Structure 1
């Protein structure tokens, strides 16, 4: 996807989201405001694709702002989360559309032939294999994760610990491209990805770390992380969309926040992809390590001084 197209599309989406927010479109005064949906849409778009934990930030921002609506209205929170992830999914699919179609065609061709021969076929199967562990563990442990993980103090610790993991992994030499990774290594990346079910770890951060530990270039590790987002987030959106939206009932006041959040997430997601791929061609991942460690200290100071409670 050309940079001019990316920036133009992102600017258009962000403008639409901002205008809808200013107009209060679809907003219900007694529920979740469009302005907070806009902020969380931007947060989701940028943090899902950068190695800094989107799930952690989606908890920390309302915690710091004392936005309690999503915490107090679980059904609204679940369906709003689907909308935000749909936005970033749209961004990744749009950016890598031609690549994804090529991998899908190669995967089907490989199944028909019952062999893996081309680089695209190897990458397609790598994506499939790396998706399986997180899908299984996520489905099996969803209730445990929702009940026991996601408190601000836990997020702070995980942000710090996996910042050090990213720093250590990024010291490895750059030797391989995505097509050089085998299926066994893909399974290891998939197991690493499953750790990101805990808010604060970062799905992109842990998959980039795993890729760098296996010798991928910084650019290749980022691209693989983006590609792995598609099946895992698509699966989550379809599953949660069915259980929480189709089988359930859309919550009151959903129209404005859902539309604004989805559009903002898609627009900021496009910018995050383009920026990160351009950045890591010239730099390492140290800036994200520093950000995560600084955020860890900030959260712990906020808790220690009593500005906010350790739990949310």
Structure 2
């Protein structure tokens, strides 16, 4: 690989790690380099690698929660129920809408949803919605208060994030804030929801990779996985640490600026309508 290809690999892995858990849309940021800068797609193997990296990061950070939820879920199968088993079932329930939507709409979204105009629109619309939800939040509930209805509503919101530019973490946090949850609970439930979603996406891409029979360059994939994982781990830690202090305003401002730049590219730059 040339130095420029190594640079692309590291930067794309860094972008994946930093944006997967921030409310600014990782899919949009991974699409934009190819749309705006003409960078070549890194391939399925790279996609699988960065998904493994971000999945490892969230599972390491929430390792105690993940352990407790898995053990409680297994215990619930034997009839021993607890608050942890209830939360585990609610995470599973909230994941179903995204799975169904992905199965039914994946091809349509891949075909129509990757344009700069779509990304600009979703970046702006859901950025404004995030800002409104954060400003109007009531913080009546903690994560322990999440029930079936709220889990389903947050899960339905997560399904919308299949559209590039929406942001999975952004829209699930928005939905939780609108339902009255405090910032920390909204973010933590969003991160727990990310585990089955990222795992499922990685497994699908892994299956596509096996079916394609494409030879993989394992060193850049390993580097990409490591960079994505470490950057995601740092991102989760700092986001939760600073969340109550800074709120959602910096991310809302970023989304609005990014959306306006994308609209300018689409309408003013020759060839920017891709």
- Identify whether the pair has TM-score above 0.5, normalized to the shorter chain: yes
Shift in Å, 1:298: 1.1
Shift in Å, 1:152: 1.1
Shift in Å, 1:178: 1.1
In structure 2, the residue corresponding to 1:145 is in which secondary structure?
Answer: helix
Asked if the contact 2:23–2:168 (Cα under 8 Å) also holds between the matched residues in 1, the reply is yes
Aligned match of 1:261: 224
Shift in Å, 1:137: 1.1
Aligned match of 2:101: 137
TM-score normalised by length of structure 2: 0.94
Matched, 1:179 2:151: no
- Over aligned residue pairs, what C-alpha RMSD do you find? 1.7
Q: C-alpha distance in 2, partners of 1:163/1:276? A: 17
Aligned match of 2:118: 154
Q: After the TM superposition, which residues 275-290 of structure 1 pair with which residues of structure 2 at under 5 Å, given as runs?
A: 275-290=238-253
Shift in Å, 1:134: 0.2
Q: C-alpha distance in 2, partners of 1:247/1:301? A: 39
Aligned match of 1:123: 87
| Pairing partner for 1:110 from 70, 76, 81 | 76
Asked if the contact 1:64–1:308 (Cα under 8 Å) also holds between the matched residues in 2, the reply is no
Q: C-alpha distance in 2, partners of 1:216/1:82? A: 33
TM-score normalised by length of structure 1: 0.83
Matched, 1:41 2:6: no
Aligned match of 2:45: 79
Shift in Å, 1:250: 2.9
Matched, 1:240 2:240: no
**Judging changes above 3 Å, is the alpha-carbon distance between structure 1 residues 46 and 310 closer, same or farther for their aligned structure 2 residues?**
same
In structure 2, the residue corresponding to 1:230 is in which secondary structure?
Answer: helix
| Pairing partner for 2:214 from 227, 250, 260 | 250
How many equivalent residue pairs?
A: 273
- Unaligned 5+ segments in structure 1 are 1-26, 71-75
Deviations 1:57-101 (A, max 9, x none): 00112323221x21xxxxx53332222211111110111111101
Q: Which runs of 4+ in 1 moved over 3 A?
A: none
Aligned match of 1:88: 54
Deviations 1:143-197 (A, max 9, x none): 1111111111110110000011111211211121111010121011111100000
